[in-house]
Amino acid sequence: MSKRTLAEWLQGIESLHPREIDLGLERVKIVLERLGLATPPFLVITVGGTNGKGSVVEMVQNALGHHGLRVAAYTSPHLVRFNERMRVDSEPMSDEQILAGINLVDQARGDVPLTYFEFTTLTALVAFRECGVQVAVMEIGLGGRLDAVNSLDSQVAAVTSIDLDHVEWLGDNRESIGFEKAGIFRKGCPAVVGDPNPPESLRAHARKVQAPLSCIGEDFGVRPDGDELQFWNRDGQEFNVPRTALTGDLGGQNTAVALQVLLSLPEEFRPSPTSLYESFGQARLFGRFHRHIDAARSLTWVLDVAHNVAAIGNLIPKIRRETGVRRWHVVLGMLKDKDARESVSLLAPVIDRWYLAPLSGSRGQSGEELAAKIRDNVSGEVRPCDSVQQALEQAQDEAGEGEGILVLGSFQIVGPAMEFLRLYSQSQR
């Protein structure tokens, strides 16, 4: 086995393919066959959608683990360590486990030029097989139809929401995006949709492939019931689960999707209502409206990976309703293909000062570039920064007693903020 470290391997994988994103299934399917994983020895659940995927994956994998199953979860990107992307029994896989998977994939691929995401997806599947998992909950990376994860046939597929994002790859309207998301549906396998108004293209594709479709508000949903949510579906199932930080500001949409996914599984994998109540009360996911109180400075921090118009729009009322903070500073970074102007227009009524941080990668942009896009759309001081660390330090130094600091726009912003506030070790417990 190569003596390269995980970091060295990952750096090398980035250069295997000339493009960062090259949608298509052919390359992955070739290597899956060579690895003997075209039909994996575990049940597969796929979770796609514009927003809410990570929350649904967390709730589903936590519930199945509480049910006594050995469960893997695959998500992207990560906050701080790559290992967060591949979890077994809720714990990030070790470097050694991931490296073993990388070496097997590298041997099997031959001269197939895999993208970074394709290579790491295959690595996760190999590592999950070697760990003997019974269920793998797989988050779609981008879109659905042509995403590497869709090379597998899942037993249950979920689409959380459908909004405009990644328009250069998925299209600039909900019908086009809905079609791409629906590409994860399979004949005879339950398809769960959390969008309250799913595009006709999605419904049509479900009919075409003969996937039994369940839509929120029509076939299942949740109702508020004090500090709990009451779940219901067309099969007559009805019970309560606790509200959690993952419930979100969408009326429990993510919770409803996760529950319907779990109740759509084969009976031997299906948790009881009692088990679901206990597991949903324990579900946690860092970087989703995570509040931190700095008592020494009398500051409220809110960290959230919201990075598109829909997600930021859902975040604003939650900030106003649940924090009690009247004056906010924001540490913000956004990829250059995101709608920065519309996003900051939503933020502008609650933000007094802006600290703009750079993001790396081919889709990244500097604080100055982001500032040039948004200055005309905001009030208050706009301060471009040379690094995320600088933005965090300046916001902390300049925020006054009783004020708040909102950190959002990217995993590349929230991850460093967790380390800055010494929260990352807590997330690994």
- The residue-averaged pLDDT of 41-66 equals 94
pLDDT of 248: 55
- Alpha-carbon dihedral 56, 59, 63, 64, rounded to 10 degrees: 40
Please give the CATH topology (third level) of the domain spanning 290-427: Protein-Tyrosine Phosphatase; Chain A (3.90.190)
pLDDT surpasses 90 at 150: yes
Across 35-39, 148-152, 170-174, 278-282, least confident range? 170-174
pLDDT, residue 383, reads 93
Question: Stretch 80-95: mean pLDDT, rounded?
Answer: 95
CA distance 204 to 377: 39
Quick one: residue 87, left, alpha or beta (phi over 0 = left, psi -120 to 50 = alpha)? beta
User: Strand 328-332 to strand 351-356: parallel, antiparallel, or no bridges (unpaired)?
Assistant: parallel
Contact 43, 267 (CB under 8 A): no
Compute the average pLDDT of residues 231-249: 84
What's the DSSP call for residue 163? -
Q: What is the mean pLDDT of residues 170-183?
A: 81
Closest CA to 357 of 424, 417, 297: 417
Contacts of 352 (CB under 8 A, 6+ apart): 327, 328, 329, 380
What is the spatial distance between Cα 31 and Cα 77, in angstroms, rounded to a whole number? 22
* pLDDT interval class at 172 (50, 70, 90): low
Query: Is residue 251 pLDDT above 80, yes or no?
Result: no
pLDDT of residue 1: 42
User: Is residue 165 predicted with pLDDT exceeding 70?
Assistant: no
Angle at 144 between CA 60 and CA 177, to 5 degrees: 115
- Domain positions in the chain are 6-282, 290-427
**Mean pLDDT across 130-139:** 97
Contact yes or no for 358/388 (Cβ under 8 A):
yes
200-229: average pLDDT: 95
Q: Does domain 6-282 have CATH number 3.40.50.720?
A: no
pLDDT higher than threshold 50 for residue 429? no
At 287, is the secondary structure helix, strand, or coil?
coil
* Separation between Cα atoms, residue 333 and residue 172, nearest integer Å: 23
DSSP 96-127: HHHHHHHHHHHHHHTT----HHHHHHHHHHHH
pLDDT at 111 over 50: yes
Q: What is the average per-residue pLDDT within 173-192? A: 92
Give the angle subtended at the CA of 337 by the CAs of 332 and 338, to the nearest 5°: 45
- Mean pLDDT (whole number) for 93-117: 95
Instruction: Match 């500001």 to its residue by tokens.
Output: 249
AA letter at 341: R
Question: Residues of the chain with pLDDT > 90: what percent?
Answer: 62
pLDDT at 312: 85
Residue 244 pLDDT grade (very low, low, confident, very high; cuts 50, 70, 90)? confident
For strands 71-74 and 135-139, give the pairing: parallel
> 């939503």: which residue's tokens?
346
pLDDT digits (tens, 9 = 90+) for 319-334: 888 788 889 999 999 9
Give the pLDDT score at 257: 96
Say if residues 128 and 42 touch (Cβ distance below 8 Å).
yes
Mean pLDDT across 95-108: 96
d(CA 145, CA 180): 5
Residue pair 80/418 in contact by the 8 Å Cβ criterion: yes
CB 402 within 8 A of CB 298: yes
pTM of the model: 0.87
198 pLDDT higher than 90: yes
As a whole number of angstroms, the distance between CA 142 and CA 277 comes to 31
Count CB neighbours of 324 within 10 A. 9
Band of pLDDT at residue 187, cut at 50, 70 and 90: very high
Which residue from 261, 28, 40 is spatially nearest to 153, judged by alpha carbons?
40
pLDDT at 336 over 90: no
Q: Is the dihedral of CA 33, 36, 41, 47 positive or negative?
A: negative
Tell me the pLDDT tens digit for each residue of 340-376: 888 888 888 889 999 999 998 878 899 999 999 888 8
Instruction: Kindly state the average pLDDT of the residues 18-43.
Output: 88
Residue 309 C-alpha from the chain's centroid: 15
The pLDDT of residue 337 is 79
pLDDT of residue 125: 98
